[in-house]
């Protein structure tokens, strides 16, 4: 008798019972999808904040050039023995001597820039883009940042680039 009552109830209510169960099921899916999307957005925001808070430590140096720095621009790479360790942050003329160019570079804090480390302008490939290349530095030499008293940043005097040396040498051959 109970089975017949249920069947009659289904017949009597028929569509409304079925519509009500479909509506409840649809609402449950919307709630699950909404909760998933909100949690995904929240996780994305938290990940972005975490990524932004991870700071790398840098050291800044002034590299002084006594030559033209054609092809060098802000954002150019700074290499140490061919490995990318930083970037050029700013280029400006020396206010005391307009023939000199000062490049503010930012390098990873653990880069061993020593008192005898050399810097020179180097062209990359055939495009003419220039980078600053650091090289050398004896193992027993002190770190430049530890002994330099120059403020606001330690200075590195750049040597002439190979292209400049070649051009200067070719003038002697012609003469």
pLDDT at 18 over 50: no
Rounded Cα distance, 74 and 86, in Å:
11
The CA distances from residue 135 to 78, 94, 116, 164, in Å, are 11, 24, 9, 18
pLDDT tens for each residue of 43-81:
999 988 887 766 678 889 999 998 888 888 899 999 999
Question: Using alpha carbons only, how large is the chain's radius of gyration in Å?
Answer: 34
pTM above 0.95, yes or no: no
Rounded Cα distance, 112 and 59, in Å:
10
């Amino acid at each position: 008798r109970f089975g017949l009552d249920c069947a009659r109830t289904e017949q009597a209510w028929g569509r409304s019972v079925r519509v009500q169960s479909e509506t409840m099921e649809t609402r449950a899916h919307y709630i699950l999808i909404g909760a998933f999307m909100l949690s995904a957005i929240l996780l994305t925001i938290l990940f972005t904040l975490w990524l932004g808070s991870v700071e790398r430590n840098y050291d800044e140096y002034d590299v002084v050039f006594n030559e033209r720095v054609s092809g060098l621009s802000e954002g150019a790479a700074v290499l140490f023995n061919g490995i990318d360790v930083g970037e050029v942050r700013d280029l400006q003329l020396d206010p005391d001597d307009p023939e000199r160019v000062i490049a503010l570079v930012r390098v990873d804090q653990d880069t061993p820039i020593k008192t005898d480390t050399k810097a020179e302008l180097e062209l990359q490939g055939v495009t003419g883009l220039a980078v600053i290349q650091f090289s050398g530095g004896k193992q027993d030499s002190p770190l430049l940042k530890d002994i330099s008293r120059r403020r606001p940043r330690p200075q590195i005097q750049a040597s002439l680039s190979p292209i400049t040396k070649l051009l200067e040498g070719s003038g002697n051959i012609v003469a």
